[in-house]
């Protein structure tokens, strides 16, 4: 428990300046690209970053929730961030899940902030201003995620 609390504090301290996630240079996993890209295109929108790794059954379940939630919360932008795996293995995982979200290999700075053995699935959700609104660690059901999005007044869900 203390370990997860410590990792959470590290992640929050890294994202205290939330704009930094938008400026991190990361490799795309889902397309053939050899140049690093950033998330600057998502500024001004609520952004959910979902961390996943290969062979993670809970990550697969979380991915299904994220696909389903797009119908209820169409204004929520979702990005997948791969950790603890090679680009090839992460890409295979995305293919197996029939991923439609932009996917990146998490940068070294992000991995260091959340811990080298990051708890997955994990989500960091940013409001339209780019501030960290909330974080989840472990599987989060669709109902719970929608409630959290509404609790933090992100105004992305149609309910």
Question: For each of the chain's 159 residues, which pLDDT tens digit applies?
Answer: 444 444 444 544 544 444 578 889 999 998 777 788 999 999 999 999 999 999 999 999 999 999 999 999 999 999 999 998 889 999 999 999 999 999 999 988 888 887 767 778 999 999 998 899 999 999 999 999 999 999 998 888 986
* pLDDT in the model for residue 101: 96
* Residue extents of the structural domains in the chain: 2-151
Q: What whole-number distance in Å separates Cα of residue 29 and Cα of residue 50?
A: 14
Tell me whether the omega of the peptide bond preceding residue 39 falls within 30 degrees of 0, making it cis.
no
Q: Whose structure tokens read 């979380």? A: 62
Residues 6+ apart with CB under 8 A from 157: 72, 73, 75, 76, 146, 149, 150
Determine the pLDDT at residue 9. Answer: 45
CATH architecture entry for 2-151: 3-Layer(aba) Sandwich (3.40)
């Amino acid at each position: 428990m203390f370990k997860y609390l410590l990792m959470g504090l590290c992640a929050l301290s890294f994202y205290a300046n939330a704009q930094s996630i938008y400026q991190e240079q990361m490799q795309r996993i889902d397309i053939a690209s050899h140049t690093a890209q950033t998330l600057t295109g998502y500024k001004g929108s609520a952004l959910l970053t979902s961390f996943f790794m290969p062979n993670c059954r809970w990550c697969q379940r979380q991915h299904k929730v994220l696909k389903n939630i797009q119908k209820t919360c169409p204004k929520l932008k979702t990005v997948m961030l791969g950790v603890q795996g090679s680009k090839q293995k992460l890409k295979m995982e995305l293919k197996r899940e029939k991923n439609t979200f932009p996917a990146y290999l998490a940068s070294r700075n992000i991995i260091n902030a959340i811990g080298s053995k990051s708890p997955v699935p994990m989500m960091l959700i940013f409001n339209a201003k780019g501030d960290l609104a909330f974080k989840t660690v472990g599987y989060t059901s669709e109902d719970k995620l929608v409630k959290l999005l509404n609790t933090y007044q992100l105004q992305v869900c149609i309910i």
